[in-house]
Structure formats: C-alpha cells, structure tokens
A = this chain, B = another copy of it.
Amino acid sequence: MPATLRDVAEYAQVSMRTVSNVVSGYTHVSERMRKHVLQAIDELGYRPNPVARTLRTGRTGMLAFVVPEIDVPYFSALARDVIDAAAEVGYRVMIDQTGHDHDHERDLLTGNDRTMLFDGILFSPLVTKAELLEMNSPTQMPLVLLGEHEFDGRYDHVAIDNVRAAYDAVRHLLDTGRTRVAAIGAQPLEEYATPQQRTVGYELALREVGIEPEQRYARPAAHYSRADGYGAAVELLALDVRPDAIFCFSDLLAMGAMRAVFDAGLSVPQDVAIIGIDNIEEGRFSRPSLSTISLDTSFIAEQAIARVTARIETPDLRPRQIVAPHTLRIRESTASIER
C-alpha cells in the first residue's frame, strides 16, 4: 500500500493541508515546517496520486495525439515534435492510433470514447469531409485538427497550403524541363480534402505552362505507403507514353515509386524525375536523395500545442486556421538532365 497524504500528515503530526501545501509547491509555509514535512514524505516514500489530483482539479495533464498510423515516418516525426512541444508546457502526450478506423475516430470526436483521460486532442484524421460536417454532437474537448480538411470555422486547424505545396512541387518539375508529369496519391473520390487540394495544385501548375492534365497520369493511392507508391509507379511506367516525372503526394509514395523505376530498368532522375511531400529523413539518405516539399513539423507541433492549451484555459476561443510554411527542397531525384 502506497502512503497517502493523510499518512504523511499523521506521521508528521501536521494537517493534510500543510502537507498538500508543501507537495504542490509554493504556498506560504515556514522553512522549518517544509523541511519537517519533506522528511516525513521521504521516510514514508510518499508519492502524490495523480488520479486523485486530477479528479479534484479536472486536469489530467495529458493530451491525445491521434493519427492513422504511428509508424508512418511523417507522423512519427510529427509525434516527436508534438511530444517535445507538449513537454515544454507541462503536458504529456498519449498517442492514439486509429488504424484507418473511422468509427474509432468518430468515437473520439463525439466523446463516445470510454477512456478519455486527457485534456485536449490533436487530431490528424482520416475522416471524410462529409463525416466531419455531419458530426452533430461534437465533444466539448478542446480539439485541434492537423493537416487535413478545409477550414470550416468550427475547429482550430493547423496545416500547410496544400494547393500551393503541390503547385510548387510540380512547377519545379516543369522548370527542370519535364513535360509529362504524372501524380500519385490523387483520390478518385472527393471525400478527402488533402489529396483533392494537392490535385488542384498539380493541375494548376500544368495548365499554367499550357499542359492539359491527363487522366491516365493521375494515379490514386489508398494509404500513401511505399507499397502503394510502388504499385502506382509500375502502372505509370507501363503506359505507351511513359511520364518523365512523377509528383508523389507523400515521400513514402515517392520511395516506393523510385524503387519501381529501378526495377523497370530505368533511372532516377535521368528517365523519370521524382518529387515527394513531407521531407522525411529517409529521403536525405536514399539514392538518389529525394526532392521534396518540406513541412515544418516543429512549427506545426508548436502551433497546435499552443492552440490546444490556450483552448484548455479559455474554451470559448474563436477557432483559427493556422497555415504552416513549406519549402521546396531540391535534391538528386529531380536533377536537371543533359539534353
């Protein structure tokens, strides 16, 4: 049985109030008393019970970071920054992996979840636009959406400008002389905001230089995984007129696509240039190194944490949209080719 505050009080012959004061810090308490109580605490090996404290104060000191899959490099890099940013302001982070399970996500959003031991949620969701809109009984839990969806004014939101990011990537491919630019990651359905926005940016860049987007050059990808990128690239390379560049909606797709190009006996960037989005570390060491759009994950994490903690303090804040910066990183996979 661990010692309780009451045990310490009895042992030290003081009131619980005094012990509590000593434990939780600063309240006026004489130095002699402090020493005395501290010693009692030490001798009994007392540790405050965080659950009791939480019940009393209403704060758990924990945030939930909700992602589809934690082992996707972009998410784990973001998780790292989120954990660090949260620690900075005294919060801990519980990672919740939805595994592409919409019901799980919805339970979280509607507060149906049975074990909500946290003060706020950072949500990198898969939920479709429709699902988000029809969410009729949103939880009172402070919530910040990350990187997906259009800003609809109901939730705080931190994301890059997806249209612009895609535009920048494709524009770079065009600038290096490629003309047959394919895309991997477009969603056939209009359900998800991010792929749709990136598709818009992709087509925008093409049209700007007078190229009409071709349907067969836009390939879907279910999970933005290496395997999906590989599969989509294999299809692209089998076309009569092969693309000379591929814009992948994530670096992971790009890694898969690169491997597919090699397996087809072709080379990157000579035969096919490849660019991704996310700037995962893997792409800095791959051969060739991967050009990409870098998202500032620590900026995203800090802004999200700042926003959710602000909302914990002041629940009625007006939802804001925060746009995170992105940067084009040119590496070997899109090097210009000798003509």
Shortest Cβ gap from A282 to chain B (Å):
6
List the interface of chain A (C-beta within 8 A of B). Answer: 2, 45, 47-52, 54-55, 60-62, 69-71, 73, 76-77, 79-80, 83-84, 92-97, 99, 111-112, 114-117, 137, 140, 226, 230, 255-256, 258-259, 262, 281-282, 284-287
- If A94-B95, A95-B95, A96-B92 touch, does A70 touch B50 (CB 8 Å cutoff)? no
Whether A94 lies near B97 (C-beta < 8 A) is no
Taken together as a complex, chains A and B put the C-alpha atoms of A146 and B301 apart, in Å, by 28
Copies of the protein in its oligomer: 2
Q: Name the one of B62, B79, B84 contacting A117, with C-beta atoms under 8 angstroms.
A: B62
Taken together as a complex, chains A and B put the C-alpha atoms of A165 and B215 apart, in Å, by 49
Shortest Cβ gap from A119 to chain B (Å):
11
Taken together as a complex, chains A and B put the C-alpha atoms of A116 and B50 apart, in Å, by 6
Q: Is the interface of A mostly helix, strand, loop or mixed?
A: mixed
Q: Which B residue sits closest to A1, measured CB to CB? A: B140
Whether A259 lies near B230 (C-beta < 8 A) is no
Residues of B within 8 A of A73 (CB): 71, 73, 76
Q: Which B residue sits closest to A74, measured CB to CB? A: B71
Can you report 6 A-B residue pairs in the complex whose CB atoms are below 8 A from each other?
A: A62-B115, A73-B73, A76-B76, A117-B117, A226-B281, A287-B287
Shortest Cβ gap from A22 to chain B (Å):
14
Residues of B within 8 A of A97 (CB): 80, 83-84
Whether A95 lies near B79 (C-beta < 8 A) is yes
Whether B71 lies near A80 (C-beta < 8 A) is yes
Shortest Cβ gap from A76 to chain B (Å):
4
A-B complex: 6 closest residue pairs judged by Cβ atoms:
A76-B76, A71-B76, A94-B94, A71-B80, A95-B95, A259-B285
Whether A71 lies near B79 (C-beta < 8 A) is yes
- If A51-B55, A55-B52 touch, does A2 touch B71 (CB 8 Å cutoff)? no
Whether B111 lies near A47 (C-beta < 8 A) is yes
Residues of B within 8 A of A256 (CB): 285
From A50, A54, A285, name the one whose CB has the most chain B CB atoms within 10 angstroms.
Answer: A285
Whether B60 lies near A70 (C-beta < 8 A) is no
- If A97-B84, A282-B255 touch, does A114 touch B77 (CB 8 Å cutoff)? no
- If A55-B52, A287-B287 touch, does A95 touch B83 (CB 8 Å cutoff)? yes
- If A47-B111, A52-B55, A114-B48 touch, does A77 touch B71 (CB 8 Å cutoff)? yes
Shortest Cβ gap from A258 to chain B (Å):
7
Whether A50 lies near B115 (C-beta < 8 A) is yes
